[in-house]
Structure 1
């Protein structure tokens, strides 16, 4: 597809960067909230003690 006009490639690149930034920002804002509300004591209970 190198026959496409350079401005078309620029528009596609800008749309790709904008969608990538939206994806990263949404993941960053959603995932830490789930981690904050989990109780910290449940992690200690689920840890296995490998020392004998």
Structure 2
């Protein structure tokens, strides 16, 4: 029945999108990288205006 073909493709597309979403969310939550802390700057030396 050719009239059922669009429903089949829609079903396959939704299944693909759902699996892609599931894969991407599981990949995001399992491989979270540690955030790098910015390097701490040493305190600046006071400027001496006297020569």
TM score, norm. by length of structure 2: 0.60
Larger helix proportion of the pair: 1
Structure of larger gyration radius: 2
Return 5+ residue gaps in structure 2 as ranges: 40-51
Displacement of 1:33 after TM fit?
A: 1.5
CA distance in 2, matches of 1:22, 1:9: 20
Aligned residues: 38
- The TM-score normalised by the length of structure 1 is 0.59
Is 1:39 matched up with 2:31? no
CA distance in 2, matches of 1:15, 1:39: 36
Equivalent residue for 2:17, pick from 1, 20, 25: 20
